[in-house]
A and B are shown apart, each in its own frame.
Chain A
Amino acid sequence: MNHDFEKDISGCGLTGIISKKRKKLDGSFIKKSLCLMNDRGNGLGAGYAAYGIYPEFEDFYAFHVMYDYDTSRVEAEEFLRENYLVEKIEEIPTTKVKTIVINPLLLRYFVKPKKDRLAAGANEDDFVVKTVMKVNSEIEGAYIFSSGKNMGAFKGVGNPLDIADFYGIEEYSGYIWTGHTRFPTNTPGWWGGAHPFTLLDWSIVHNGEISSYGINKRYLEMYGYKLTLLTDTEVVAYTLDLLIRSHGLDVKTACSVLAAPFWKDIDKLPDGEREAYTALRLAYGSALLNGPFSILFGHGKGLVGLNDRIKLRPLVIGEKDDLVFMASEESAIREICKNPDNVWAPRAGEAVIVDLEG
């Protein structure tokens, strides 16, 4: 069994913005907000995710891939060409930044699964998930770090400012943004270990250490997920994928699995709801994320903020017109929105769900 691993541990700062009316914001806002929280990271990892950035390829999965070696690229591309229609391949544009001395080869592919490669009844999303699992666990030095449609993650080892400049974050325009700065206390130096962590159009930024990681990992492995990154964030992403995409729970219900209500509160609910929440806890006890966390997860239709069940990590929400801000610190919101209409801290385990309009 796969038990002899060293888990990644880190503290962090996170921030996110969504325009409910899908108004595009360039990357300067998220960059400014995140850079204010520089002291929540230690320069060993930062990243951004943006939605709505590839409108001209919105029907294609945008794979962002890191390669450690040229041979990894050859092998991965052979696999991709075999299974996918490849619309476009290009290097992800980057700029030299003084502090970033070494970086992996970074490419992006706009692809669609070949019809004849899909098993009968299988859908494209499942196929993409399998591809990501296979490439990341089996092709040495290749790592797909973004695989959604009309969205992308940009991340690496560096502080928020350097990573933003390296990728030219300000050049992209999106209606949902998340950003993350990292304070790893072990295994620094791997670009894939930075956040956001993504799968399909899920992107997760996460602050915290999931104390239940061991069982969460084993639970997901039973459903065929391969946990190669050994980060809590990976667990969050795959759990959401399982609950929402495979098991068909809505976002709110999925959040009540990750940060399950206490039995004392479930017991007080009227019969119908009590049964439902009891069943969720019975079936998904091993998916409960126990321990401190605040997470933001973006998806094709919105942005969600969630705290652990006793709020051991900070999360603040701000609202201004159709914009909603979610961040580790209120200052990160006020840095880019001087006078929000409303600022509040969600309660422990309370999911803040913001959907795009239309």
Chain B
Amino acid sequence: MFKSLALPEYLATIDTDKCIRCKRCIQNCGWSVYSWGGDRVLIDTNKCVKCLRCYHYCPTEAIQILDNPVRYRNNAYWGFHNIRNIKRQAETGGMPLTGMGSDMPYPVLFDKLLLDACQVTNPSIDPLREPMELRTYLGKKPSDVRVERGKDGKLKLKTKLAPQIKLASPFMFSPMSFGSISLNAQKVLAMAAKECGIVMNTGEGGLHEDLLPFKSNIMVQVASGRFGVNPDYLNAGVAVEIKIGQGAKPGIGGHLPGEKIPLEVAKTRMIPVGTDALSPAPQHDIYSIEDLRQLIYAIKEATNYTKPVSVKIAAVHNVAPIASGIVRAGADIVYIDGFRGGTGAAPSIIRDHLGIPIEHAIAAVDDRLRQEGIRNEASIVAAGGIRSSADAAKAIALGADAVAIGTSALVTMGCTVCGKCYTGNCSWGITTQRPELTARLDPEVFAERLINLVHSWEHELKEILGALGVNAVESLRGSRERLRGIGLDTQTLDILGVKPAGR
């Protein structure tokens, strides 16, 4: 085999003076960067993805992972990755794959929006002293409620409510299937969801029996591959999601290679061991909006109208009318995944060049549903690169009912967003099915960390609400008057429905 002319991205180095030859790096690296050379550790830096597992487990801090100092000649137009990808494509004829959300330097609107705070004319509220409510219900809301006041003065509800998902705070975990992530990683999500009173989402990998104890905090997904779908599965969780698209790869299906289909994954997906799990690009029974309506109602029938049905779409150019159609087709929740949304595997070219940012999408969808007078008919879940509670607060202020977090949740498990999920070699035991790697992810230990993250974001969100002088999250939802834009052009401000700072 010839030596690849694609430059390695990283330079793994070991300080031989510091190295005590304990071989932990060899043991920890899922990519086989390190091997034993008899008297010292050998390094194949071409394999390094800078996940930093070795760095953290080296007892003497002998390891450094540097961005490869050797670069192609500086060129403001022909960047390192342009040249490197062409070389890789020339050598293989394949599509360069990637994992996680796009790392391209497109503008980040969240970072150009600032939240308001109270001074004098309206008081801020101290969340340590006053109640501060984050509870959120997802599902179809009636436009008006009929109640009757009995002779005893007590109210009685006359309107029948559609089924709702009750969230203790406006967070949920994004769909990540068993297959794309390990069962232990799913257990972390499930345990944390239960403890935090929110929900995780199976993704399209079916529901492993180990997750059944957590079913009150699980949303099950039906996607184009229909893996693991049966009546019990549909009825197992608190809601069912139809996945049409994913922000990282709108219009693209999924491909979980046979190597990532060991027995447990195969059983859960209801497919033979070692076969590729192919999710077609479209759902083959949905070629139009009326087909979606039929699937929504087929699921509602199968679940006896007891579960809200969510429809997940990627944020694409015409997201507003698409979302409107989805709501009119009967969905109770519209889950919108922005182009920064993560993935276990996607062609880089798709991930980095298709779709629109979640910020625009939330604003456009919320506006459209209001213009059509149907905003109450469905909840909006926003996802795709929520990095902090501030991103969440801004997404909610733009009009989302709740946000879903995927990458942030994985980071609590050790993920460093190296973007090599598709290789199945994740040294942190997250996006891999190799038993020696998945065993590293102790669900109990890492659930604790994820719970900490959610609680930390809840505290932060309460502080934000308090500064805004409101004590319920629904008073922030869609309240774009509490946002100001900096450095945004007039048209973008208009799309976001946000004033510039200073106005």
Q: List the B side residues contacting A218 at CB < 8 Å.
A: 370, 478-480
- Contact yes or no, A4 B499, CB < 8 A: yes
- Contact yes or no, B373 A222, CB < 8 A: yes
B147 contacts chain A at the CB level, 8 A cutoff: yes
Q: List the B side residues contacting A215 at CB < 8 Å.
A: 474-479, 481
Which residues 174-231 of A have a CB within 8 angstroms of B? Answer: 185, 208-209, 211-215, 217-219, 221-223
- Contact yes or no, A285 B469, CB < 8 A: no
- Contact yes or no, B471 A279, CB < 8 A: no
- Contact yes or no, B130 A310, CB < 8 A: yes
- Asked, given contacts A6-B503, A262-B131, whether A211 binds B477 with beta carbons under 8 Å apart, the answer is no
- Asked, given contacts A208-B122, A263-B135, whether A3 binds B498 with beta carbons under 8 Å apart, the answer is yes
Q: Mark each residue of chain B from 404 to 444: 1 if its CB lies under 8 Å from any CB of chain A, else 0.
A: 00000000000000000000000000000000000000000
- Contact yes or no, B370 A283, CB < 8 A: no
B27 contacts chain A at the CB level, 8 A cutoff: no
B164 contacts chain A at the CB level, 8 A cutoff: yes
B73 contacts chain A at the CB level, 8 A cutoff: no
B155 contacts chain A at the CB level, 8 A cutoff: yes
Which residues 131-188 of B have a CB within 8 angstroms of A? Answer: 131, 133, 135, 137, 141-147, 149, 154-157, 159, 161, 164
Q: List the B side residues contacting A272 at CB < 8 Å.
A: 154-157
A13 to chain B, nearest CB (A): 15
B241 contacts chain A at the CB level, 8 A cutoff: no
Q: Mark each residue of chain B from 353 to 385: 1 if its CB lies under 8 Å from any CB of chain A, else 0.
A: 000000000000001001001011000000000
- Contact yes or no, B471 A263, CB < 8 A: no
Q: List the B side residues contacting A306 at CB < 8 Å.
A: none
- Contact yes or no, B481 A276, CB < 8 A: no
Which residues 245-295 of A have a CB within 8 angstroms of B? Answer: 246-250, 252-253, 260, 262-264, 270, 272-273, 275-277, 279-286, 288, 290-292
Q: How far is the CA of A291 from the CA of B373 in the complex (A)?
A: 26
- Contact yes or no, B157 A290, CB < 8 A: no
- Contact yes or no, B482 A291, CB < 8 A: no
Q: How far is the CA of A221 from the CA of B367 in the complex (A)?
A: 11
Among B121, B146, B157, B482, the residue within 8 A (CB) of A9 is: B121
Q: How far is the CA of A292 from the CA of B475 in the complex (A)?
A: 13
- Contact yes or no, B121 A280, CB < 8 A: no
- Contact yes or no, A222 B370, CB < 8 A: yes
Q: How many A-B residue pairs have CB under 8 A?
A: 140
Q: How far is the CA of A74 from the CA of B3 in the complex (A)?
A: 87
B367 to chain A, nearest CB (A): 6
Q: Mark each residue of chain A from 27 to 55: 1 if its CB lies under 8 Å from any CB of chain B, else 0.
A: 00000000000000000000000000000
- Contact yes or no, B157 A275, CB < 8 A: yes
Interface size on A, residues (CB 8 A): 54
Among B147, B154, B376, the residue within 8 A (CB) of A280 is: B147
Q: How far is the CA of A262 from the CA of B137 in the complex (A)?
A: 15
Among B118, B141, B469, the residue within 8 A (CB) of A282 is: B141
B186 to chain A, nearest CB (A): 30
- Contact yes or no, A285 B477, CB < 8 A: yes
- Contact yes or no, B161 A282, CB < 8 A: yes
A1 contacts chain B at the CB level, 8 A cutoff: yes
Among B367, B376, B470, the residue within 8 A (CB) of A211 is: B470
Q: How far is the CA of A208 from the CA of B469 in the complex (A)?
A: 12
Q: List the A side residues contacting B147 at CB < 8 Å.
A: 249, 253, 276, 279-280
Q: How far is the CA of A273 from the CA of B498 in the complex (A)?
A: 39
Q: List the B side residues contacting A264 at CB < 8 Å.
A: 131
- Asked, given contacts A279-B145, A286-B477, whether A1 binds B161 with beta carbons under 8 Å apart, the answer is no
B266 contacts chain A at the CB level, 8 A cutoff: no
A20 to chain B, nearest CB (A): 19
- Asked, given contacts A7-B481, A262-B131, A285-B474, whether A279 binds B154 with beta carbons under 8 Å apart, the answer is no
Among A4, A11, A185, A283, the residue within 8 A (CB) of B145 is: A283
- Contact yes or no, B141 A214, CB < 8 A: no
Q: List the A side residues contacting B476 at CB < 8 Å.
A: 215
A312 contacts chain B at the CB level, 8 A cutoff: yes
- Contact yes or no, B479 A1, CB < 8 A: no
A299 contacts chain B at the CB level, 8 A cutoff: no
Q: List the B side residues contacting A212 at CB < 8 Å.
A: 470, 475, 479
- Asked, given contacts A211-B470, A263-B133, A310-B125, whether A286 binds B478 with beta carbons under 8 Å apart, the answer is yes
- Contact yes or no, A247 B145, CB < 8 A: yes
For the complex of A and B, list the 8 residue pairs with the smallest distance between their C-beta atoms, beginning with the closest: A214-B481, A285-B474, A214-B479, A212-B475, A290-B475, A211-B469, A209-B122, A276-B155
A-B contact pairs, 29 of them (CB 8 A): A6-B503, A185-B121, A208-B122, A212-B470, A212-B475, A214-B479, A214-B480, A214-B481, A215-B477, A217-B481, A246-B144, A247-B146, A248-B146, A249-B147, A252-B149, A253-B155, A264-B131, A272-B157, A273-B155, A282-B161, A282-B164, A283-B376, A286-B474, A290-B470, A290-B472, A291-B122, A291-B470, A292-B469, A310-B471
Please give 11 more A-B residue pairs, beta carbons under 8 A apart, in addition to A283-B142, A284-B145: A1-B494, A4-B503, A212-B475, A212-B479, A214-B480, A215-B479, A253-B155, A262-B131, A285-B472, A288-B474, A291-B122
